[in-house]
Amino acid sequence: MDDPKISVIMSVYNGERYLKQAIESILNQTFTDFELIIVNDGSTDNSLKIIQSYDDTRIRLINNKANIGLTKSLNKAIKQAHGEYIARQDADDISLHNRFEEQLRYFERYLNVALLGTSVYLIDENGKTLGKRIALTNPGKQLLKENQFNHGSTMFKKEAVVRLGEYNELLRYSQDYELWLRMAKHYEVRNLARALYKLRFHGEVVTFKHAGESALYHLLALRLARNNFDEKLLETINNNGIKGLYYHLNGNEKVLFHKLVANMLVKGKYIKRAREEYKTAFRLNHFNIKNTLNLLLSYLGENTLYQSHKTYTTIKNFLWYLKNFAFK
């Protein structure tokens, strides 16, 4: 049997609620030459039974006896992948039926591209569409400011990722951002403007539950990309966990940290917690206009700050749309 064109890698930990939708969105793709490698990462719910209920030879199961985390699980899947391309899929999200077909068509047209994401629809726990996140088709220098890729929507060349050492297992979160930054140094990286993926927001989303850790890993990814990392910092993280990174941050990095945490919390409507983060950022830098504005808005009612962020996202989507049009 010939190797498949695409290896889809998915890690699941106690994801029984949305797992069927995620799996079936892959099995129902218009492009069918793929294998679906699912890593059951020590789930204690019915996730394993759900995976085993499918009688489809394209599904391959890796069953971790204990939970080892997303980063290591994805690397296990990559090592067992047979495809020329690797596509990500999260266990609580949905891929549109023509996603693989569209991404492969782009790769065949632009041979120098090694990483390709897509724009996404944002959905809630019940699958209702909340909005749309337009991805910048040519991230360029914007990638050094913030992650420009929606992890679950990405497809990349296996050869390129293996050459670069796969996901960095030092990172529990933002492992995708760190990998994209590395890839961008050696290859062309792009997004499709078309939304081909549904990204689900619910109470269990990592950035809501572990906003502080997530922000620190984001900053660690940037430090690694800028080669601003030494053995002393590695020792601190190994001994004290990622929280030890905070005490190595400079003033600007600390401001960015608190802003990142606050912005994550606003998306989850945790406005009071977000306000405290904006306050801390303000104490560190009184002259950050955007942060000060967010702080003031947080006192005008919980919905005011949330709606202002939604408006900002709408404007940003429009600007990204114009930029995408300029790159054509």
* Residue 179 pLDDT exceeds 70: yes
Q: Which two tokens stand for residue 307?
A: 């709606």
| In the block, residue with structure tokens 């724009």 | 119
Q: What does the pLDDT look like over 234-244, one tens digit per residue?
A: 999 988 899 99
Residues in the chain: 328
What are the residues facing 95 on neighbouring strands? Answer: 197
Q: What percent of the chain has pLDDT over 90?
A: 83
For residues 279 and 283, what is the distance between their CA atoms, to the nearest angstrom? 6
Q: What does the pLDDT look like over 255-266, one tens digit per residue?
A: 999 999 999 999
- Fold of the domain built from segment(s) 6-200: Spore Coat Polysaccharide Biosynthesis Protein SpsA; Chain A (3.90.550)
* Surface-to-core class of residue 226, CB atoms within 10 Å of its CB (0-12 exposed, 13-18 middle, 19+ buried): exposed
193: left (phi over 0), alpha (psi -120 to 50) or beta: alpha
The HSE-up count of residue 225 (CA atoms within 13 Å, CB side) is 25
DSSP state letters, 25-38: HHHT-S---EEEEE
For residues 298 and 275, what is the distance between their CA atoms, to the nearest angstrom? 6
Q: State the pLDDT confidence band at 1, using cuts at 50, 70 and 90.
A: low
CA distances from 126 to 12, 200, 240 (A): 19, 9, 39
CA distances from 270 to 76, 203, 302, 309 (A): 35, 11, 9, 13
pTM: 0.93
Give 18 or 239, the one with higher predicted confidence: 18
pLDDT at 322: 79
Average pLDDT score over residue span 17-45:
98
Closest CA to 15 of 90, 70, 127, 91: 91
Q: What does the pLDDT look like over 192-211, one tens digit per residue?
A: 999 999 999 875 555 567 89
Domain ranges of the chain: 6-200, 206-327
| Lowest mean pLDDT segment, chosen from 118-127, 144-153, 171-180, 205-214 | 205-214
pLDDT at 327: 58
What are the residues facing 10 on neighbouring strands? Answer: 38
